[in-house]
């Protein structure tokens, strides 16, 4: 609600610039292209947290159910969600470390990026602590929830690489960013959505899912996911830029491996859909 009007106003400014020739962002008309990036990311980074917070809520519902105990640190879980929402509005600049910012701005945005990792880490540790001494039932919703914790943890840790100025200079606009984003959004929001489907659809429609195909689907998605996206992290560190359809021969093996991973994850998702 707070961030969306920013991108709306930005689009209005783009229309005025193109139709009336007013220079907001076009340097040829006296505009500042860096201003456009700021306005875009002021909206777009909070949008990422809008997508992940409901998934975190789903996981906080499923884990206590299948661990058969109350969630560890309920107040910390709730307050960390509010902290993520609040700090998430203040970290947009880490997308722009290579775009031409002052050193002071880079330091501040890097610090804020590391700060937003604290409430996220609180959630991860509390979810893991919820499992401690629980009577754990590894039904399919629980497996998806555990998969979420594993994949989202990788997404969070790779996010710190992007948040640190020294390493971000190296991996900015590479396949590493693609891998990080998908570990966070697909491995986070997407996998949490699958967990929610397996948890609530049987309650909604009054029929149990077939557990064996559900577990096979989970295994295929997890195997395919990591085969698809982990090579991207390596490719990015090696210097493979994103948004390129062509690449040097030395990048071929990991690209081929990533392609095979996409087939595996597609098979897992199709099996999951069939079982639902």
pLDDT at 146: 96
pLDDT at 100: 82
DSSP annotation of 7 reads H
- Would you say residue 1 lies in a domain? no
- Would you say residue 141 lies in a domain? yes
- Would you say residue 60 lies in a domain? yes
Report how far residue 195's alpha carbon sits from residue 192's, in angstroms, rounded to the nearest whole number.
5
Structural domain boundaries, residue 236: 49-275
For the domain that residue 81 is a member of, what is the CATH number? 1.20.210.10
C-alpha closest to that of 52 among 81, 15, 74, 32: 81
Counting the structural domains of the chain, the total is: 1
- Would you say residue 154 lies in a domain? yes
- The burial class, CB within 10 Å (0-12 / 13-18 / 19+), for 229 is buried
pLDDT at 82: 92
**Predicted structure pTM score:** 0.91
Instruction: Give mean pLDDT in consecutive 10-residue pieces for the chain, a chain of 276 residues.
Output: 88 92 89 91 90 93 94 93 90 89 90 92 94 92 96 94 92 95 94 96 90 95 97 95 92 96 96 92
- Would you say residue 27 lies in a domain? no
Segment 205-233, tens digit of pLDDT: 998 889 999 999 999 999 999 999 999 99
- Would you say residue 43 lies in a domain? no
- Would you say residue 143 lies in a domain? yes
- Would you say residue 165 lies in a domain? yes
Answer yes or no: are the C-beta atoms of 63 and 71 closer than 8 Å.
Answer: yes
């Amino acid at each position: 609600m707070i961030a969306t009007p920013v991108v709306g106003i930005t689009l209005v400014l783009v229309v005025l610039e193109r139709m009336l020739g007013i220079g907001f962002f076009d340097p040829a008309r006296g505009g500042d292209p860096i201003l456009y990036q700021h306005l875009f990311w002021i909206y777009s980074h909070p949008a990422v947290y809008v997508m992940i917070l409901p998934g975190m809520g789903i996981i906080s519902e499923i884990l206590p159910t299948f661990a058969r105990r109350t969630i560890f640190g309920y107040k910390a879980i709730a307050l960390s969600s509010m902290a993520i929402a609040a700090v998430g509005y203040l970290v947009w600049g880490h997308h722009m470390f290579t775009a031409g910012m002052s050193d002071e701005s880079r330091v501040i945005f890097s610090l804020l990026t590391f700060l937003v990792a604290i409430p996220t880490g609180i959630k991860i540790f509390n979810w893991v602590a919820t499992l401690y001494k629980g009577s754990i039932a590894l039904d399919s919703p629980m497996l998806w929830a555990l998969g979420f914790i594993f994949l989202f943890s990788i997404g969070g840790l790779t996010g710190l690489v992007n948040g640190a100025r020294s390493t971000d200079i190296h991996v900015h606009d590479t396949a590493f960013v693609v891998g990080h984003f998908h570990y966070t959004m697909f491995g986070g929001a997407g996998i949490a959505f699958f967990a929610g489907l397996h948890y609530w659809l049987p309650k909604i429609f009054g029929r149990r899912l077939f557990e064996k195909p559900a577990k096979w689907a989970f295994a295929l998605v997890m195997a395919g996911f990591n085969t698809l996206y982990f090579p991207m992290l390596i490719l990015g560190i090696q210097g493979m830029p994103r948004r390129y359809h062509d690449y040097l021969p030395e990048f071929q093996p990991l690209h081929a491996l990533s392609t095979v991973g996409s087939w595996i994850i597609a098979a897992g998702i199709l099996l999951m859909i069939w079982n639902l």
